[in-house]
């Protein structure tokens, strides 16, 4: 199973990190994020827009695609 097949961003990011044998620090560097941002993502928090875009870059997706894949069930403001 590939990281992109995971059902949540937290699981997908963690699996991406494991597939690449990255420590938290190395993953943060590869994604151009801070270690606390990586920790928050892996704990299930919705990342800030800039970090969503950075996750998209390492997943070879756009930030919008990442949002649609992992957060499409979140009710949008009307």
Q: With the C-alpha atoms ordered 40, 46, 51, 54, is the resulting torsion angle positive or negative?
A: positive
Q: What is the pLDDT of residues 55-78, one digit of tens each?
A: 999 999 999 999 999 988 765 544
Q: Which pLDDT belongs to residue 78?
A: 45
Contact of 62 with 70, CB cutoff 8 Å: no
Question: What's the domain count of the chain?
Answer: 1
Nearest to 43 by CA among 7, 5, 11, 68: 11
Output the average pLDDT for the chain.
Answer: 90
Q: How many CA atoms lie within 13 A of 65 on its CB side?
A: 10
Kindly report the CATH number assigned to the domain that includes residue 42.
1.10.260.40
Q: Which pLDDT belongs to residue 64?
A: 92
Nearest to 28 by CA among 1, 65, 54, 62: 54
Is residue 48 pLDDT above 90, yes or no?
Answer: yes
CA distance 4 to 34: 22
Residue 76 located in a structural domain? no
């Amino acid at each position: 199973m590939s990281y992109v097949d995971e059902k949540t961003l937290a699981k997908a990011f963690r699996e991406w990190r494991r597939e690449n044998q990255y420590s938290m620090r190395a993953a943060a560097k590869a994604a151009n994020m801070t270690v606390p941002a990586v920790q928050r993502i892996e704990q299930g928090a919705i990342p800030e827009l800039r970090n969503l875009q950075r996750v998209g870059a390492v997943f070879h997706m756009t930030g919008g695609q990442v949002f649609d894949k992992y957060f499409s069930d979140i009710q949008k403001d009307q």
